[in-house]
Amino acid sequence: MHCWSIILAAGSGTRLSAATNGIKKQFLEWQGAPLFWQSAITFSHTTRMRGLVFVFPEEDIDEATETLKKLDFGRRLGLPWKVVAGGARRQDSVYNGLQALPTECTHILVHDAARPFFSATLTNTLLDALEKGSQAVIPAIPVTDTIKVVENNSICHTLDRSTLRACQTPQGFHKKMLIEAHNKCNEEGWEVTDDASIVEQAGYSVATVAGEMTNCKITNPEDLAMIESKQTSMPVPVTGWGYDVHRYGEGRPMKLGGIPIQGGPQVVAHSDGDVLLHALCDALLGCMGDGDIGEHFPDSSAQFDNISSGVLLNEVYDKFLQRGYRLTNIDLTIIAQVPRLVPWKPQIKKNICRMLKLNDDQVNVKATTEEKLGFTGEKKGIKAVAAIMALRG
């Protein structure tokens, strides 16, 4: 099986537009990206997915492609993708998407970008069914409302609820069969709202699997609450870890956590050699997924010669706060045989609390020796580690 997905994002969102100042729903910002990106991310979590076709409105195609390139910087999706222009009706957009599939593709999932909350598990369930030989398989959930057929505000009859299902996307198909069914649909002029309808009318059977209650389609203004409430949901916890070493020798007077350690050995360093603040900077960068201190402040640059590590920390921490992170706590350990650090710990802690605007119980400073073992035990140098936890809002 070689499966691609078509992500349909070429609608005009007319039912919602009054509530969004005309922004098409697939382009509404959610968790820092347009809504259609969420579906791409979920598909990328499924290892059997081989590629994606995005279908955008003709007039938005250049801008949406640029946005996609930025979002997929560093090949975040890990999947090849293509972009095509949609058509007037949903079924025309699917048809255009089908034309863009590579020849080696054998199966296809068709998905509405307006359903951003489907899971990778649902995707896998659909792929399992296709792999076992289903020609067409779609998610469906039992209907809980009583459904009646109404004409001119008057009820004609009531349907038997036990046989009714509300159908969702992604919908899975054998590619050749879906293309044949779409061709027939075009020849005979059918009007449909999903691909399963085309396949049914073309005479194929369609299997169902359990859909997801959370897999709602954002359609009407009231549905915006779904993205708003999820937007203001719990911040995400992130962790960072940092490690640094400095050699003892003629160089800079020892500083730890911004505090001059009088009587301590000198350290060899390009900056002021504050091993603890370097580990802390690296831990902050770790939380942000933003490389290490050497990348940001290269020791080959004269600009950073003897620079105060407090200044480096300020710069990294400013970026950290600007990007919406906030520290919950930090735990620091200094490892050295000499000097004896116990008397310095309270001062170091106080200074770090001040620099990071944290309370006493959010910062911990520990010191240990390595029992005369290794390079710290031989008094050749000093090392420090920093573990931090933060929330990304």
State the residues that interact with ligand CTP by CB under 6 A: 8-16, 26, 55, 86-90, 93, 112-114, 217, 219
Q: Which is nearer to Mg ion, 16 or 122 (CB)?
A: 16
The residue number with the shortest CB distance to Mg ion is: 11
Q: Which residues 6+ apart lie within 8 Å of 264 measured at CB?
A: 253, 254, 338, 339
Q: Tell me the closest approach of the beta carbon of residue 193 to ligand CTP, in angstroms.
A: 7
Question: Which partner in ligand CTP, Mg ion, none is near 20 (CB below 5 to 8 A by kind)?
Answer: none
Consult the annotation and say whether 290 binds a ligand.
Answer: no
Query: Segment near Mg ion (CB under 5 A), from 3-11, 202-210, 270-278, 281-289?
Result: 3-11
Q: Are 91 and 181 in contact (CB under 8 A)?
A: no
Consult the annotation and say whether 293 binds a ligand.
Answer: yes
Q: Tell me the closest approach of the beta carbon of residue 22 to ligand CTP, in angstroms.
A: 12
Q: Which is nearer to ligand CTP, 54 or 297 (CB)?
A: 54
Q: Which is nearer to Mg ion, 11 or 51 (CB)?
A: 11
Q: Are 10 and 56 in contact (CB under 8 A)?
A: yes
Consult the annotation and say whether 121 binds a ligand.
Answer: no
Nearest to 133 by CA among 40, 39, 204, 200: 204
d(CA 96, CA 162) in angstroms, rounded, equals: 36
CA 194 from centre of chain? 28
Torsion of CA 173, 178, 182, 183, to 10 degrees: 180
The neighbouring-strand residues paired with 118 are: none
Question: Which partner in ligand CTP, Mg ion, none is near 219 (CB below 5 to 8 A by kind)?
Answer: ligand CTP
Consult the annotation and say whether 370 binds a ligand.
Answer: yes
Query: Segment near Mg ion (CB under 5 A), from 10-18, 41-49, 241-249, 373-381?
Result: 10-18
Question: Which partner in Mg ion, ligand CTP, none is near 184 (CB below 5 to 8 A by kind)?
Answer: none
Q: Tell me the closest approach of the beta carbon of residue 126 to ligand CTP, in angstroms.
A: 17
Consult the annotation and say whether 131 binds a ligand.
Answer: no
Helices (H), 132-262: 175-188, 195-201, 224-231
3-state secondary structure 95-113: HHHHHCCCCCCCEEEEEEC
Phi first, then psi: give them for residue 382, nearest 5 degrees.
Answer: -135, 150
Point out the annotated binding site for a divalent metal cation. Answer: 244, 246, 278
The footprint of Mg ion (CB under 5 A) covers: 11
